[in-house]
Structure 1
């Protein structure tokens, strides 16, 4: 069974690097990229309408333009009632201890990784997903 994965990050280089790392891991993934939190929310809403579900995994940047990753999560939790939440992994290029602590306390967030995503980190993600 293929895992559906969203990468939500406003940095094109980070999007590419994360997608590349996932694709090098294997071909049992359908990967979609979103260039903003707003686009990610729209895509999630469309998935709920069309498929009755959300993606299996979301890799989420916290620091983005109009809406940050925390706001994205708040909105996602509000409109996803009754739909199984995806496993969310935060990707950040800034080591911020407050964000790490907040992520640890958030029940939706499965993990927090520094950019670029490493193959060893990805192995942990897919081990949890199976």
Structure 2
């Protein structure tokens, strides 16, 4: 899967760097954009949804963020769902617990849940799953 736009929403610069590195190592022909807050990402995705231009193919979402967390992001995104049906969302969190895993597994917009630090196997799984079948 080449030529995708991947958004990383994570307030930790080191985690973002590690995810970008893992993606670019195995899938170099993709565009990776980082956001440090949910508000930043929501503003951008609303603009993209209005114009139907620049929408990400994949979002890697941390759950623990300042102000608004990952669950708030998903809630707000649900309001735009008709405009962004093709976006695959993956939770990537360092603070995994049974409740979050269960919620992620049951959430209709979340494709999967991965623990930080993300590894090559997780990245491969994301890109294989995202292939058009």
The question of a shared fold, defined as TM-score above 0.5 by the shorter chain, is answered with yes
**Contact 1:4/1:29 (CA < 8 Å) preserved in 2?**
yes
Aligned to 2:72: 71
Length, aligned pairs only: 130
Q: Which moved more, 1:25-34 or 1:79-88?
A: 79-88
The CA deviation string for residues 9-57 of structure 1, in whole angstroms up to 9 with x for no partner, is: 0111111111111111122211000001111111111222343463110
Give the structure-2-normalised TM-score. Answer: 0.91
Aligned to 2:41: 40
Kindly report structure 1 stretches of 4+ aligned residues shifted beyond 6 Å: none
CA distance in 1, matches of 2:28, 2:50: 26
**Contact 1:93/1:115 (CA < 8 Å) preserved in 2?**
yes
User: Following TM superposition, by how much is the alpha carbon of 1:121 offset from its aligned partner in structure 2, in angstroms?
Assistant: 0.7
Q: Which runs of 5+ in 1 are unaligned?
A: none
Q: Which runs of 5+ in 2 are unaligned?
A: none
**Contact 2:42/2:77 (CA < 8 Å) preserved in 1?**
yes
1:87 maps onto 2:122 in alignment: no
Aligned to 1:60: 61
